[in-house]
Structure 1
Amino acid sequence: MLCSSFALPSWAADDSSKIRAAVDAAIVPLMAEHDLPGMAVAITIDGKPTYLNYGVASREKNTPVTEATLFELGSISKVFTSTLATYAQALGKLSLDDTPGKYMPQLTGSAIDKATLLHLGTYTAGGLPLQFPEDVSAAGAAAYFQQWKPDAAPGVQRRYSNPSLGLFGNLTALAMKRDFAELVQTQLFPRLGLTSSYIHVPASAMPSYAWGYNRDNKAIRVNPGVYADEAYGVKSSAADMLRFVQLNLDPGQLAGPLQRAVAGTHVGYFQVGDMVQGLGWEQYAYPVSLERLLAGNSPAVIMDPNAVKRLVPPQPAFARTLFNKTGSTGGFGAYIAFVPDAHIGIVMLANRNYPIAARVKAAHAILRQLAAADK
Structure 2
Amino acid sequence: MKRINLSSFYLLLVFWLYLFSSSSPAYSVPAQRLDDAQLAELIQTRMVEAKAPALAVSIVVDGKVKRFNYGSPDLQQPGENTVNTAYEIGSMSKAFTGLAIQILNEQGKLSLKDDIHQYLPHLNLLYQGKPAKLDIEDFLYHTSGLPFSTLAFLEIPSSKTVEQQLQNLNLQFKPKSHYFYASANYDVLGAVIEKVTGQSYHDAIATLITQPFGMSATVAVSGEETIANKATGYKIRFGYPVPIEAPIASNHVPSAYIHSTLADMEKWLDRLLDPTKLDPTLRRAIERSWQGNTRVPVNNNNSILYASGWLIEQRQGTYINHGGQNPNYSSCIALRPDQQIGIVALANISSNIILELCSDIDSYLHNQPYSDEVRDLFLFMDFIFSVLTAITMIIVVLVGLFIVLRIRNYRQQNNKLSLNWLDWGIVLLVPLIIAGIIYVSPGLGLGINWHFIALWLPSTLLIFITAIIFLVTLLTLNCRIKKKISHNKKGSK
TM-score (norm 2): 0.63
Residues 193, 204 of structure 2: 8 Å contact kept: no
Q: Partner residue of 2:200?
A: 179
Q: Partner residue of 2:337?
A: 340
Alpha-carbon distance, 1:187 to partner? 3.7
Alpha-carbon distance, 1:158 to partner? 1.5
Q: 1:350 aligned to 2:371? A: no
Q: Could you report, residue by residue, the CA deviation over 1:73-110 in whole angstroms, capped at 9, with x for unpaired residues? A: 01111110111111111111111111121012223796
Q: 1:220 aligned to 2:248? A: no
Q: Which moved more, 1:98-107 or 1:127-136?
A: 127-136
Distance 1:231 1:218, change over 3 A: same
Q: Which moved more, 1:213-222 or 1:94-103?
A: 213-222
Q: 1:61 aligned to 2:77? A: yes
Q: Partner residue of 1:46?
A: 62
Q: 1:6 aligned to 2:26? A: yes
Partner letter of residue 261 of structure 1?
Answer: A
Cα distance between partner residues in 2 of 1:16 and 1:286: 20
Q: Partner residue of 2:35?
A: 17
Write the mapping of 1:100-179 to structure 2, written as runs, cut at 5 A. 100-107=116-123, 114-129=133-148, 131-134=150-153, 137-139=158-160, 141-179=162-200
Cα distance between partner residues in 2 of 1:26 and 1:262: 31
Write the mapping of 1:197-236 to structure 2, written as runs, cut at 5 A. 197-200=218-221, 206-216=227-237, 217-225=241-249, 227-236=251-260
Q: Which moved more, 1:216-225 or 1:153-162?
A: 216-225
Q: Partner residue of 2:109?
A: 93
Q: 1:263 aligned to 2:287? A: yes
Partner letter of residue 353 of structure 1?
Answer: S
Alpha-carbon distance, 1:212 to partner? 0.9
Residues 130, 163 of structure 1: 8 Å contact kept: no
Cα distance between partner residues in 1 of 2:369 and 2:75: 41
Distance 1:175 1:336, change over 3 A: same
Alpha-carbon distance, 1:171 to partner? 0.9
Higher relative contact order (CA closer than 8 Å, sequence separation 6+): 1
Q: 1:275 aligned to 2:304? A: yes
Q: 2:315 aligns with which of 286, 294, 317?
A: 286
SS at match of 1:325: strand
Q: Partner residue of 1:309?
A: none
Residues 114, 135 of structure 2: 8 Å contact kept: yes
The structure richer in strand per residue is 1
Residues 331, 355 of structure 2: 8 Å contact kept: no
Residues 99, 285 of structure 2: 8 Å contact kept: yes
Cα distance between partner residues in 2 of 1:202 and 1:126: 28
Cα distance between partner residues in 2 of 1:160 and 1:138: 25
Q: Partner residue of 2:277?
A: 253
Write the mapping of 1:292-331 to structure 2, written as runs, cut at 5 A. 320-331=317-328
SS at match of 2:297: strand
Partner letter of residue 121 of structure 2?
Answer: P
Q: Which moved more, 1:246-255 or 1:171-180?
A: 246-255
Cα-Cα RMSD: 2.8
Partner letter of residue 164 of structure 1?
Answer: N
Distance 1:202 1:359, change over 3 A: closer
Identity %: 23
Partner letter of residue 326 of structure 1?
Answer: G
The structure richer in helix per residue is 2
Distance 1:108 1:335, change over 3 A: closer
Cα distance between partner residues in 2 of 1:182 and 1:84: 12
Q: Partner residue of 2:360?
A: 365
Cα distance between partner residues in 2 of 1:325 and 1:344: 15
SS at match of 1:349: strand
SS at match of 2:139: helix
Q: Could you report, residue by residue, the CA deviation over 1:43-70 in whole angstroms, capped at 9, with x for unpaired residues? A: 0001221211001111111112111111
SS at match of 1:324: strand
Residues 332, 357 of structure 2: 8 Å contact kept: no
Alpha-carbon distance, 1:351 to partner? 0.6
Cα distance between partner residues in 2 of 1:119 and 1:202: 27
Partner letter of residue 271 of structure 1?
Answer: P
Partner letter of residue 284 of structure 2?
Answer: R
Structure 2 runs not aligned, ≥5 long: 1-23, 371-493
Distance 1:351 1:218, change over 3 A: same
Q: Partner residue of 1:75?
A: 91
Q: Which moved more, 1:229-238 or 1:129-138?
A: 129-138
Cα distance between partner residues in 1 of 2:251 and 2:193: 13
Cα distance between partner residues in 1 of 2:25 and 2:38: 19
Structure 1 runs not aligned, ≥5 long: 288-319
Partner letter of residue 183 of structure 1?
Answer: A
SS at match of 1:181: helix
Alpha-carbon distance, 1:202 to partner? 11
Cα distance between partner residues in 2 of 1:322 and 1:45: 14
Alpha-carbon distance, 1:201 to partner? 8.8
Tell me the matched-pair count: 334
Q: Could you report, residue by residue, the CA deviation over 1:320-368 in whole angstroms, capped at 9, with x for unpaired residues? A: 310111111111110111111221111010110112xx23543333223
